[in-house]
Amino acid sequence: MEERQKYYVTLNPIELGIEHVRDDSQLIQYEIEVTKQELEVVSNFIRKYSDELYDVSDILLRPFHFQDVEEDNYESLTNLEQLYQLVYKYGSEKTKRDLESIQRENNH
């Protein structure tokens, strides 16, 4: 069975990413434990979400297409939700507790 390694996922829109070492910044990072294959899945999803988030050309090319913007926002929210589900799935016990706490706060 393949060994799991610890990584730290940052889900802040300004600094989205996954690192092997915890960052010293004030950004919230979630600890996950993944195999190489699972790391690839999470990394690809982060890249995909990050590319969507920063596709400024869409806004510049269609500044008043509000329906398109709403559809893009819905897709981004859906992808962010899936990204949080991946982080929860591979998260350490602390990560799972933190995400469950956030979920409870958001449902009140």
Q: Model confidence over 28-73: pLDDT tens digits?
A: 899 999 999 999 999 998 888 887 665 545 545 555 555 555 666 6
Q: What angle do CA 100, 30, 38 make, to 5 degrees?
A: 100
**Long-range contacts of the stretch 94-98 (C-beta < 8 A, 24+):** 94/31, 95/30, 95/31, 95/32, 98/30
Confidence of residue 21 (pLDDT cuts 50, 70, 90): confident
Task: Report the alpha-carbon distance of residue 15 to residue 81 in Å, rounded.
Answer: 17
pTM of the complete model: 0.75
